[in-house]
Chain A
């Protein structure tokens, strides 16, 4: 087995230095974990739609904070971030900053207001706020696309980590390499689990998943640091002294990527955070707007626990790699596949017991599954709830809705698997494309829709199409060539790739979308009074009932007199 593994390591998409073989203890650990998720999903299974989408609006502060954390921390946080820091040094920190600080913007501008608006999904918000089925459809398609693009990175992460745990099964499915077989297997498990349970099961699961992944990550960091003599009690600060040894590539600013790309990436990740449907949907599940605020604070704290640790893990991993495998930078240097498993690799190179390395790897799989679950739920609800029930078949029965929801989860799973068989970029970069999209299309709609009551249908449609256009252009320019011909060169123009990079397209798109939405809204008719009143209700400090939406309040009590004053 070991002999075969060393030969295969020279092949594509096999991370060098990683011990690829079937390991019994880690396998039991991962399978046990997946069974646990399925059991929890089964116990909290749901049959009706209200429960499937928003868990009956009964989730509290800390639990929702953990769910925010687990939902948020995907393979991109768990594996991809350390990878980017190891490979691109200071540029990788743009991800650390973008993925945490975005929550503050979400908190001050959107969390509580969205809870007051009280609709199921992101497309629901757009459709109801702008009174337009076309807007709803565009948002639904965007949500679906986000789920798809985002999940490609997760599938890549699961595939690579799966190699460490289960070994190389290349050829078991004819024509597929070991990595590809693993992607198919892991995605099948994820989809199977998701079709069995809805959001309630998922929310319960997310708290469990958060605990598993944060314990695995922190334990990994502490043990690697301690056994290798890097750190004792606070590795998050102690890796500082290591930085000079790691070389200029690790800390020198702007040697790998320009200042502009740093800012573009960071900005995209921030606005993407505020526009991601699977993040926003977490605010519909809480009991009150105050809970929405505090669970954001809790969520950010839970997220920071990992984000403070990732750069330290990257530093330890990079140093161990240089010692045991070969030079990290230069030619050939560390491949992006090895980078993507640097967290697992660090634990393995530190010669920690196999079951423990397996635990670190299992944490990565938990992270990937938790996020994929959230994404697929958001994506499938966009299809079944927003496209199918609201537009195509308004008389759909509950049964039909749930069926369409499940079918779209399967469709997402198949699409993602196919795209992940030969992914175009490292995990974190793949995931960033989804952030660019959310930031460019959905964020301006939420922001303007909430904060300027005169934003209207025409403005929203023009704005969303602009955002979608800019993002698609950047993707076609940079990412499509990698799939078509495997080449790195931009398809359309080098200039476009420099100034509107796919990974940071929102920096250019957001101001443009804002401008277009505002100008078009101003030259066309104002939105109806009813809509304005709903927006006002979202900002009113008056508390609302747990099951109420802004629309209920406005239509129930407010047609001819003030609704909320005694």
Chain B
């Protein structure tokens, strides 16, 4: 899948202009994330899951992939372990009485996904805050100021 890049070398060049320098910092040295956000033209930055082109997307995808990795283990880990180490996994949990595999799958799976979702939504809000993005303006007025500008400019019906 890495070969996606070869396909868009032509317009990939402009997309990587504004982030080569902001990448290394982690948001401190060469300008705050909020500044980076204001200086980024998102509509000229390529979208490619494996090759994020803006600082925001990089930060966001770090979050997404960490969550995904944990999720993968929570979902497929216990059942796979059960397949390869059935004796270990079917031992009874003291007190609760569940066999271990049953507990990890029936209760661990849904609960794990719920906690992960909560974690992600929180982190994503924090990410918005870090970049100085405010959804409240949109929710209150029905449209953000920028949205209003764009809408007023374009609405004709």
Which residues of A are in contact with B by a Cβ distance under 8 Å? 90, 93-94, 96-97, 100-101, 103-105, 107-109, 236-237, 240-244, 251-254, 259, 262-263, 266, 270, 287-291, 293-294, 296-297, 300-301, 303-304, 307-308, 311, 450-454, 518, 522, 526, 532-533, 535-548, 552-558, 562-566
Say whether A240 contacts B96, CB under 8 Å. yes
Say whether A266 contacts B75, CB under 8 Å. yes
Minimum CB distance partner of A533 in chain B: B43
Say whether B90 contacts A536, CB under 8 Å. no
Report the bound CA distance from A252 to B89 in whole Å.
10
Does B20 lie at the interface of the complex (its beta carbon under 8 Å from any beta carbon of A)?
no
CB distance from B52 to the nearest CB of A (A): 9
Given contacts A557-B154, A564-B150, contact A290 B79 (CB under 8 A): no
Contact with A along B2-15 (1 / 0, CB 8 A): 01100110000000
Report the bound CA distance from A101 to B146 in whole Å.
36
Report the bound CA distance from A296 to B116 in whole Å.
12
Select B114's contact among A109, A300, A532, A566, beta carbons within 8 Å: A300
CB distance from B136 to the nearest CB of A (A): 9
Say whether B98 contacts A104, CB under 8 Å. no
Minimum CB distance partner of A550 in chain B: B43
Given contacts A297-B118, A311-B106, A539-B47, contact A262 B79 (CB under 8 A): yes
CB distance from B113 to the nearest CB of A (A): 4
CB distance from B72 to the nearest CB of A (A): 10
Say whether A548 contacts B151, CB under 8 Å. yes
Say whether B47 contacts A536, CB under 8 Å. yes
In the bound complex, residues from chain A placing their C-beta under 8 Å from that of B44 are: 536, 562
22 CB-based A-B contacts, threshold 8 Å: A90-B101, A93-B109, A94-B79, A100-B114, A101-B74, A101-B112, A104-B116, A240-B96, A244-B92, A254-B82, A266-B79, A288-B135, A290-B135, A293-B120, A294-B121, A536-B42, A536-B47, A537-B42, A541-B60, A542-B42, A543-B146, A566-B146
**Which are the 10 A-B pairs with shortest beta-carbon distances?**
A556-B154, A545-B143, A545-B147, A241-B97, A540-B42, A240-B98, A240-B97, A451-B49, A97-B109, A100-B110
Interface centre among A543, A548, A563 (most CB of B within 10 A): A543
Given contacts A107-B121, A241-B97, A552-B154, contact A543 B135 (CB under 8 A): yes
CB distance from A552 to the nearest CB of B (A): 7
Say whether A545 contacts B42, CB under 8 Å. no
In the bound complex, residues from chain A placing their C-beta under 8 Å from that of B48 are: 451-454
Contact with A along B97-138 (1 / 0, CB 8 A): 111011101110111111011101100110110010111011
Told that A301-B114, A308-B110 touch, could you supply 16 new A-B pairs with CB distance under 8 A?
A97-B109, A108-B68, A253-B83, A253-B89, A254-B82, A259-B80, A263-B76, A266-B79, A294-B121, A296-B117, A307-B110, A452-B4, A543-B135, A543-B144, A545-B142, A564-B146
In the bound complex, residues from chain A placing their C-beta under 8 Å from that of B121 are: 107, 293-294, 296-297
In the bound complex, residues from chain B placing their C-beta under 8 Å from that of A535 are: 47
Say whether B75 contacts A101, CB under 8 Å. yes
Say whether A252 contacts B110, CB under 8 Å. no
Report the bound CA distance from A251 to B79 in whole Å.
12
In the bound complex, residues from chain A placing their C-beta under 8 Å from that of B114 are: 100, 297, 300-301, 304
Does B149 lie at the interface of the complex (its beta carbon under 8 Å from any beta carbon of A)?
yes
Report the bound CA distance from A104 to B75 in whole Å.
11
CB distance from A259 to the nearest CB of B (A): 4
Does B24 lie at the interface of the complex (its beta carbon under 8 Å from any beta carbon of A)?
no
Report the bound CA distance from A526 to B6 in whole Å.
12
Report the bound CA distance from A262 to B83 in whole Å.
11
In the bound complex, residues from chain A placing their C-beta under 8 Å from that of B154 are: 552, 555-557
In the bound complex, residues from chain B placing their C-beta under 8 Å from that of A244 are: 92, 97
Select B105's contact among A97, A103, A254, A540, beta carbons within 8 Å: A97
Contact with A along B46-66 (1 / 0, CB 8 A): 111100000011001001100
Given contacts A96-B109, A251-B102, contact A290 B147 (CB under 8 A): no
Report the bound CA distance from A318 to B145 in whole Å.
59
CB distance from B70 to the nearest CB of A (A): 9
Report the bound CA distance from A329 to B49 in whole Å.
48
CB distance from B121 to the nearest CB of A (A): 5
CB distance from B38 to the nearest CB of A (A): 6
In the bound complex, residues from chain A placing their C-beta under 8 Å from that of B43 are: 533, 536-537, 540, 554, 558, 562-564
CB distance from A427 to the nearest CB of B (A): 19
Say whether B41 contacts A562, CB under 8 Å. yes
Say whether B47 contacts A453, CB under 8 Å. yes
In the bound complex, residues from chain B placing their C-beta under 8 Å from that of A547 are: 142-143, 151
Select B101's contact among A237, A241, A253, A304, beta carbons within 8 Å: A253
Minimum CB distance partner of A448 in chain B: B49
CB distance from B126 to the nearest CB of A (A): 12
CB distance from B42 to the nearest CB of A (A): 4
CB distance from B40 to the nearest CB of A (A): 8
Does B28 lie at the interface of the complex (its beta carbon under 8 Å from any beta carbon of A)?
no
Say whether B109 contacts A243, CB under 8 Å. no
In the bound complex, residues from chain A placing their C-beta under 8 Å from that of B117 are: 103-104, 107, 296-297, 300
CB distance from A374 to the nearest CB of B (A): 21
Minimum CB distance partner of A237 in chain B: B96
In the bound complex, residues from chain B placing their C-beta under 8 Å from that of A452 are: 4, 47-49
Report the bound CA distance from A189 to B91 in whole Å.
49
Given contacts A93-B106, A526-B8, A566-B146, contact A104 B71 (CB under 8 A): yes
